[in-house]
Structure 1
Amino acid sequence: MSQTKIQLDWSPVEKFLREGTEAGYLMSIIEAEKLFRDFLVQNGFKIRNWQRINKLLKQFVSQPEKFSQARRTYYQIIQEPLFKINTEETKGIIKNYWQAIIDLDEAINCLSLREKIWLKIKCFLAL
């Protein structure tokens, strides 16, 4: 199994989290989603429908329900202007994004070339 380094800059997430404000918590989750998307793009995934890829990727993450909840929270933040969240919830969501990225990185490195291509096609088509 080949090892890769996940090269993502988490400093914006940490900066917003350290603010200790509700706006900072919301922004840290938005930044975590951006990192998740950046990770997939860096690995050659072209996603047309970001909302529908959870079901495709959940087989590769160790905690699919927590991953799905993290992404649902992101979409709530985007769609609900008065969305509220506290420190502990925010930390949990960020942790779930981080774990999903680690799990996906490991899974991608274990897939055969054929499996990688098929997964990328399915993600692109959002089947």
Structure 2
Amino acid sequence: MGLIHSRRCPPCRAAQRLDEVFTAGPDHLRAELAPLREHPAGYPSPYTLISYLDGADGRLIHRLLTGTLACAHDGLDHLRQTASVTHLRSLLTAVGLLPSRDEHWERSAWLRAGRRSWRPRRRYGPDLKGLRSA
């Protein structure tokens, strides 16, 4: 929040923050992830960009740029699936850094385990008295 209340104009602060985030890490990772920089730079509001880069999304991008997080579906799959991770995955797919995949298929443990059908267990209790699964 401190960057929002500095003496620079909002677009200048947003550009400075974008430069700070994308100068981290080795040169080969920065070159590989260059398309990722173009998307946040197109945000209409500089305040949105500043809060995006200062939040969890900015920390994930920093991890990508420093190499502590692999730019692959497997690397993102090992993280807790929060809105930031989901947004970053869709962003990386949109800019062409990740191949597209069917997320519902990938997240379905039943389908990955090879099970073709799923039947709920029968539950009986005070709330379900008289109800039976077919």
Taking structure 2 as the reference length, what is the TM-score of the superposition?
0.25
Which structure: greater helix fraction?
A: 1
The structure number with the bigger radius of gyration is: 2
Taking structure 1 as the reference length, what is the TM-score of the superposition?
0.26
